[in-house]
Amino acid sequence: MRPSSVLSRVRSFPLFAALDEAEKDKLIQAGKLRHCYSGQHLFVFGDPVQHFYIICDGALQLFRETPDGHEMTADVLIAGDCVGETDLLRPGLTHQFNALAIKETTLLAFPLDWLKDNAQKNGALAMNLLRILANRLHIATMEAEHKNTMTAAQQVACFLERLCVLHNFDPHGFDLPYSKTLIASRLGMELETFSRALTKVRQHGISLQGTRCAFLDLQKTEQFSCRDCSLIGHCHEHEQLKEYIQQGKTAPEQIKVRKRRTKPSHTGTN
């Protein structure tokens, strides 16, 4: 991505919501572009925290390794997500995860004290950061509950709904932003369990063709995925997805993606 297009895209990210354009420009100018190729670490567990990052394009896997070498994926972050904000706010100032680029990734890197200093000066920025942290805590809490109350297939269906809403994908059809193997790791499932879950998910209103996902019958999906959730009827992500589908909305970013795909391309996809 060219620097001008990166900066233009970053202005719309959640961290800068409700800020005027002058404030956004002043904050963003403190960042420096950093590129990671697929398979490159941004940082590893135990590294000193030196920067706070915003993903402009691409994707990062956050994970730790068990003593026997098994990867435990904590999260997979894509464009618009922040990286390292929790490490900056905890004592010790060392990274608690490995951060690995799973595709070519462009980030904005900000100095160590940038987030702390500007959060103290700018109330809107501080509130945006709190919303980001609160949302991650909410997701972690619900996923812990779901592991105890839901089948693997229900968890996958719920994850796909949340993925669609949180990243502003088009519910009528979107490409999974990372591999099914990584989604399985993200959900703490063995690949065989995940594959069986996908077969069941297809029977409950969700189409999965290769890496393409679409919600065909959300009512059927809801009856399946939400019935054992304590937030049934009160889930923000599900209600927003329902609204998008009922009103026939299409996410702006997906419109751009589809337009780009109409142009001839010789680049294959993984």
Is the same domain home to 90 and 186? no
Final residue of a structural domain among 104, 133, 162: 133
Examine residue 167 and state whether it is found in any structural domain, yes or no: yes
Final residue of a structural domain among 107, 133, 159: 133
Rounded distance between C-alpha atoms, residue 161 and residue 261, angstroms: 24
φ and ψ of 250, to 5 deg: -125, 130
The one-letter amino acid at 108: L
Is the same domain home to 108 and 168? no
Examine residue 142 and state whether it is found in any structural domain, yes or no: no
Is the same domain home to 155 and 129? no
Examine residue 73 and state whether it is found in any structural domain, yes or no: yes
- Per-residue 3-state assignment (H helix, E strand, C coil) for 47-84: CECCEEEEEEECEEEEEEECCCCCEEEEEEEECCCEEC
pLDDT at position 184 is 94
Q: Hey, which residues does 59 pair with through a beta bridge?
A: 78
CATH number for position 10: 2.60.120.10
Is the same domain home to 222 and 191? yes
Assign 97 to helix, strand or coil: coil
Rounded distance between C-alpha atoms, residue 199 and residue 208, angstroms: 9
Is the same domain home to 95 and 167? no
Examine residue 161 and state whether it is found in any structural domain, yes or no: yes
- In order, the DSSP letters of 159-191 are HHHHHHHHTT--TT-EE-SS-HHHHHHHTT--H
Examine residue 145 and state whether it is found in any structural domain, yes or no: no
pLDDT at position 151 is 96
CATH number for position 222: 1.10.10.10
How many C-beta atoms surround the C-beta of residue 120 within 10 A? 10
HSE of 263 in the Cβ direction (CA atoms, 13 Å)? 6
Per-residue pLDDT of the chain (270 residues; tens, 9 = 90+): 556 677 788 989 999 999 999 999 999 999 999 999 999 999 999 999 989 999 999 999 999 998 988 889 999 999 999 998 887 777 678 899 999 999 999 999 998 888 888 989 999 999 999 999 998 899 999 999 999 999 999 999 999 999 998 888 999 999 998 899 999 999 999 999 999 999 999 999 999 999 999 999 999 999 999 999 998 888 888 888 888 888 775 544 443 333 333 344 443 434
Can you state the angle between helices 152-166 and 218-225, rounded to 10 degrees? 130
Rounded distance between C-alpha atoms, residue 8 and residue 26, angstroms: 13
Is the same domain home to 21 and 90? yes
Final residue of a structural domain among 133, 161, 196: 133
Long-range contacts of 84-90 (CB under 8 A, 24+ apart): 84/43, 84/49, 84/51, 84/52, 84/53, 85/52, 85/115, 85/129, 85/132, 85/133, 86/133, 86/136, 87/49, 88/49, 88/52, 88/112, 88/115, 88/116, 89/133
**Which domain, by its residues, includes 242?**
150-261
Examine residue 38 and state whether it is found in any structural domain, yes or no: yes
The CA angle 225-228-229, to the nearest 5 degrees, is 85
Is the same domain home to 75 and 115? yes
Is the same domain home to 59 and 128? yes
Examine residue 183 and state whether it is found in any structural domain, yes or no: yes
pTM (2 d.p.):
0.82
Is the same domain home to 23 and 49? yes
- Residue count of the chain, please give it: 270
Rounded distance between C-alpha atoms, residue 86 and residue 95, angstroms: 9
Examine residue 96 and state whether it is found in any structural domain, yes or no: yes
Q: For the chain, what is the domain count? A: 2
φ and ψ of 249, to 5 deg: -75, 150
Q: How far apart are the first and last CA of the chain?
A: 19
Tell me the CA distances in angstroms from 145 to 52, 94, 110, 226, 228, one per residue in order. Answer: 30, 29, 35, 12, 10
Rounded distance between C-alpha atoms, residue 44 and residue 136, angstroms: 21
Is the same domain home to 189 and 243? yes
Is the same domain home to 34 and 85? yes
Q: If residue 99 lies in a helix (H) or strand (E), which one and from where to where?
A: strand 98-101
Is the same domain home to 21 and 101? yes
